[in-house]
């Protein structure tokens, strides 16, 4: 496994963690809240964003405007059944989601959830490190690498790991600030 491959996988782990953070409610309207919502559309699970235009006209409202008016009920049901905890209001033209202000208990729950997502990201980065180092050790054992080369590569892999774990920590800190800011 090349260092560029290891770094690419670690970047993807950080991006995945960032996407998890984007789906957390922070008290402000954000269309990314609906990224994980899928709708049963003609028997197929379809992402909501491919069935409707999602906008945020102000900081407390998300407006979902379906491309096909016939899918309005399925979209409304999918949003109501999702884990985002918002009640859809259907006026026949668009579905409005009002974002209530967060209570301090809910903010604490969201901070814990963000920490959990960050830890999953860190674990993912560490697993990539472990796999890469195992490959390097295997190559050293098969005499494809010298002991010095092996140690150099392992040090570089560890530096990459530290760099990407630090990035996840930065993202977590920013998200926690976002959640706790009233």
User: Contact 36/49 with Cβ under 8 angstroms?
Assistant: no
- CA-nearest of 29, 56, 34, 24 to 176 is 24
Residue 141 and residue 109 in one domain: yes
Residue 108 and residue 149 in one domain: yes
What CATH number is associated with residue 158?
A: 1.10.132.20
Of 98, 123, 152, which residue sits at a domain end?
A: 98
Buried b (16+ CB within 10 A) or exposed e, 149-182: ebeebbeebeebbeebbebbeebbeebbebbeee
Residue 38 and residue 93 in one domain: yes
**Alpha carbon distance 174, 160 (integer Å):** 21
Residue 117 and residue 131 in one domain: yes
Structure tokens at 152: 């150099």
- CA-nearest of 121, 31, 126, 114 to 79 is 31
Helices (H) and strands (E) in the chain, counts: 4, 6
Mean pLDDT of successive 10-residue segments in the chain (182 residues)?
A: 90 92 77 85 88 89 90 89 84 88 85 93 96 94 91 95 96 90 72
Beta bridge partners of 108: none
Q: What are phi and psi of 135, to 5 degrees?
A: -65, -40
pTM (2 decimals)? 0.72
Residue 36 and residue 66 in one domain: yes
Beta bridge partners of 96: 63, 89
Residue 93 and residue 108 in one domain: no
- Domain around 92: 31-98
Of 46, 71, 98, which residue sits at a domain end?
A: 98
Domain count, the chain: 2
What CATH number is associated with residue 87?
A: 3.30.1360.40
User: Contact 119/168 with Cβ under 8 angstroms?
Assistant: no
Of 98, 132, 155, which residue sits at a domain end?
A: 98
- pLDDT at residue number 122: 96
What separation, in Å, do the N-terminal and C-terminal C-alpha atoms of the chain show? 46
């Amino acid at each position: 496994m090349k260092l560029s491959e290891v770094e690419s996988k670690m970047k993807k782990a950080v991006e995945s963690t960032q996407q998890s953070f984007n789906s957390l409610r922070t008290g402000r309207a954000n269309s990314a809240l609906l990224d994980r919502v899928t709708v049963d559309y003609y028997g197929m699970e379809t992402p909501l964003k491919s069935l409707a235009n999602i906008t945020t006209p102000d900081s407390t409202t998300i407006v979902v405007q379906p491309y096909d008016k016939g899918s309005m009920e399925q979209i409304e049901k999918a949003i109501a059944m999702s884990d985002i905890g918002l009640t859809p209001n259907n006026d026949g033209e668009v579905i409005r989601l009002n974002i209530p202000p967060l209570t301090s208990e809910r903010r604490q729950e969201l901070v814990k959830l963000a920490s959990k997502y960050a830890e999953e990201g860190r674990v993912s980065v560490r697993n990539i490190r472990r796999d890469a180092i195992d490959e390097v050790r295997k190559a050293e054992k098969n005499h494809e690498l010298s002991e010095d080369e092996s140690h150099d590569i392992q040090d570089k892999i560890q530096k990459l790991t530290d760099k990407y774990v630090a990035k996840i920590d930065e993202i977590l800190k920013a998200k926690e600030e976002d959640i706790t800011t009233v």
